[in-house]
Structure 1
């Protein structure tokens, strides 16, 4: 059994700030009071303890309050991505068979369902008396998140209390804890990157400094002023922060300790630029099925292992299986799926098959090469798009790059590059790539675009690039 994390945190360090938003702050004790009150209002409106509740909201304190209320009631929370279309949302709500849908007023018209409750309606209800769950079974399903759907239908992934707790503990054993830790959260709360920050906050007693969305200027302000100690990014958001710091010619405060970079391989050039600004970037590797990180580069290895996602965290095991697929084992691995994929077993012989391609060097460091579904096979040669993207983003004129395979009569597939860049020609980029890549890896087409297709967590959607040809 685990204690109710918010109740326990309020007892231990209730006076600490647990959440901040612009100039507003809430201590853990205040968050507990708010969550208890909302839990009573939810019960008054018919939400049952231990029911399955879908949440649709922008990143905002009200969203955090509502999640804490659901935790107090023991509800399974299905985290809906507000950037999805109505049809995509309907699929997920129907697939998960949610008893109730809770939505902020901004998304009120997104879903037409009879079991919908608006945040404003909940706030106006008269609280009912409710007994808050003081303990949780380790196998209790805390959250359900749908995979981004890179192939076929998205899967609803179950994440248990044990999954989240082991994820938080394993991460802390790698990067350490401090009494004044504050995590800058500009990633979506409905995604594992954001939700895991909330879970770490309760388990660590750390502040979450919340923003509605990523903003490079605001992020740079926070880092320079020393208001935060940690931040989670992906390659593209890291690059935008670095551009902002370059323009200001500023370094970050020594109070800032660690920037965790996930969502795919990060260009070595970004890591080197970050170090010049005083940012310690640790590349991580994880997924929805593992409740965030599985491997993370340790601070002492960061300088010597650029491009590596590190070693498995203390509680986990990683190995390379058939066709170079990354396999994962540990208490953070999902217990399974729901709905359409409820009968699919997530593990085989105890290991989760990730669908990602990687290698482990002689010292045990993992290098994530690419998604198997994105692999380009050209004339019998395997080409990893991420490798080409890393070369392209190393050019000072290139802001972002995405690479996918396109059909070719001679070679089967060849790489094509989509580039967001300042003034530069395709000929210049081609010459740059030919100096750094084997000839078969050099893109056969360069397309200059204003932006690349990304999901809510800023991961590049290469499958959409294929439709641009």
Structure 2
């Protein structure tokens, strides 16, 4: 199957439609085309691999589209990493050059690879090139490194077909109106943010982009009705809900979709969000699946609280080694949105099983109606005296306590039980004894945290996902 060069096609179809506030798709195309010609002058051509070290701003959106008008592969680098971590990814990906956002003030040096600032590219003369109007579906367009929550990061190939399938499956589930505007406060170097850039051009939908997450601003836009959709994780959902609760505000009737991904969401958060009129749709996806694999439809949102829903139209989900509903095992995924493989040091390793399933490393189950429930990362599983303990279950109990803002649980080695759970919390005016007494009312004895440590912050990656392997280092 051939896929149209997204922005070129969108600019032809609905040139006057708003792409970004104050910029139509025609204007977005013209601005991106100029940068593409300037990049071509520096030597970039179709099939070349370049890297972006950027912030999440409009200029970066232009450089992303410029790269794709050239049909180049873009390696998205996480600006929150240390120079050492970035150097590892750059040496693994081997891009021809690195484009650096002028607002990144640190001076990074990567051996043997040229770093060019956005502004330096903008000063180059324009050089005409022959644009590919269509892409093969297996053409790699983006490369993202997994967050490395379980080990060395892997460079994931994301193709034109992967991204397009993901966007189409999502819109079949969520629907589309001519008033839609997606509030993006996710980093563009993560699939949660980049997928909004892609949906915007495939759907002809406006994107409102913010460099950083801002709960006050998000709540303001949701209440005012200037946006219709937003993607969040549990932590940022809680922060928006807290702002809305302070003044007893409700979401505007035109706000249609609050997609919550990045791991299990505490039941308490879902109920409080519902009271604020936020239409919460839990979703499940990963870097290897170009965003969503399953999403809970609106009709089932309250009936199936805590579920990530059913697989989207083109996708399949099964639970490894189980044959009955409710049995927990590793989640396996199949579909056109699944990566064909990795680059660099992991290029020889296929992410797929012999019969074409992607092994996710996540533990979950399907209920009797086929709804997916994610329990936890398999790598974070605590095995205590032969019993399986899922950190997310303990975290969810702790997060329902009014004094606790954030919670993280990991395994500590124990001579008697093998492993025991230890909790780290951000809390105010509460003692360890009170929290343990609270846990005793809600958790089986073997699941009880053996210790609760108070901290000022928890280790999170740029998507605000909790990094439990870092908590283990704290122990």
Q: TM-score range by the shorter chain?
A: over 0.9
Matches of 1:286 and 1:117, distance apart in 2: 33
Matches of 2:180 and 2:96, distance apart in 1: 37
- Match of residue 197 from structure 2: 198
Which of 46, 56, 77 lines up with 2:53 in the alignment? Answer: 56
- Match of residue 340 from structure 1: 345
Contact between 2:48 and 2:73, CA under 8 Å: does it hold in 1? yes
Matches of 1:458 and 1:133, distance apart in 2: 37
Contact between 1:250 and 1:277, CA under 8 Å: does it hold in 2? yes
Specify the SS of the correspondent of 1:158.
Answer: strand
Q: In the TM superposition, what is the alpha-carbon distance from 1:416 to its structure 2 partner?
A: 0.7
- Match of residue 311 from structure 2: 312
Matches of 1:281 and 1:396, distance apart in 2: 21
- Match of residue 126 from structure 1: 125
- Match of residue 26 from structure 2: 29
Matches of 1:85 and 1:358, distance apart in 2: 33
Contact between 1:86 and 1:110, CA under 8 Å: does it hold in 2? no
Matches of 1:229 and 1:43, distance apart in 2: 37
Which of 376, 381, 389 lines up with 1:375 in the alignment? Answer: 381
Residue 84 (1) aligns with residue 81 (2): yes
- Match of residue 291 from structure 1: 290
Matches of 1:467 and 1:88, distance apart in 2: 18
- Match of residue 411 from structure 2: 405
Unaligned 5+ segments in structure 1 are: none
Cα deviation 1:331-388 (Å, max 9, x = unaligned):
0000000000000011111100001100111000110001011000000000000011
Matches of 2:263 and 2:189, distance apart in 1: 19
Contact between 2:45 and 2:71, CA under 8 Å: does it hold in 1? no
Q: In the TM superposition, what is the alpha-carbon distance from 1:150 to its structure 2 partner?
A: 1.7
Deviates more, 1:419-428 or 1:134-143: 419-428
Specify the SS of the correspondent of 1:217.
Answer: helix
- Match of residue 15 from structure 1: 16
Specify the SS of the correspondent of 1:460.
Answer: coil
Detail structure 1 runs of 4+ shifted over 4 Å in the superposition. Answer: none
Matches of 1:99 and 1:206, distance apart in 2: 32
Unaligned 5+ segments in structure 2 are: 322-327
Matches of 2:205 and 2:430, distance apart in 1: 45
What RMSD over aligned residues (CA atoms) do the two structures have, in Å?
Answer: 1.0
Cα deviation 1:83-122 (Å, max 9, x = unaligned):
0000111111110110111111133644214411110101
Matches of 1:331 and 1:169, distance apart in 2: 11
Matches of 2:379 and 2:88, distance apart in 1: 23
Matches of 2:189 and 2:256, distance apart in 1: 25
Contact between 1:4 and 1:133, CA under 8 Å: does it hold in 2? yes
- Match of residue 273 from structure 1: 272
Cα deviation 1:126-172 (Å, max 9, x = unaligned):
11112222111111101000001122211000000110011011111
Task: Please list, as runs of the form range in 1=range in 2, the aligned pairs for 1:69-148 lying within 5 A after superposition.
Answer: 69-107=66-104, 109-113=106-110, 114-148=113-147
Q: In the TM superposition, what is the alpha-carbon distance from 1:285 to its structure 2 partner?
A: 0.6
- Match of residue 324 from structure 2: none
Matches of 1:422 and 1:108, distance apart in 2: 36
Q: In the TM superposition, what is the alpha-carbon distance from 1:391 to its structure 2 partner?
A: 0.8
Contact between 1:139 and 1:161, CA under 8 Å: does it hold in 2? yes
Which of 422, 430, 448 lines up with 1:442 in the alignment? Answer: 448
Specify the SS of the correspondent of 2:126.
Answer: coil
Residue 329 (1) aligns with residue 338 (2): no
Matches of 2:426 and 2:239, distance apart in 1: 13
Q: In the TM superposition, what is the alpha-carbon distance from 1:459 to its structure 2 partner?
A: 0.3
Cα deviation 1:378-404 (Å, max 9, x = unaligned):
000000000111111111111111000
Residue 40 (1) aligns with residue 37 (2): yes
Contact between 2:46 and 2:71, CA under 8 Å: does it hold in 1? yes
Contact between 1:108 and 1:118, CA under 8 Å: does it hold in 2? no
- Match of residue 467 from structure 2: 461
Q: In the TM superposition, what is the alpha-carbon distance from 1:193 to its structure 2 partner?
A: 0.2
Contact between 2:316 and 2:333, CA under 8 Å: does it hold in 1? yes
Alignment size in residue pairs: 465
- Match of residue 351 from structure 1: 357
- Match of residue 237 from structure 1: 236
Cα deviation 1:49-87 (Å, max 9, x = unaligned):
320010000111000000000000000000000000001
Matches of 2:340 and 2:293, distance apart in 1: 16
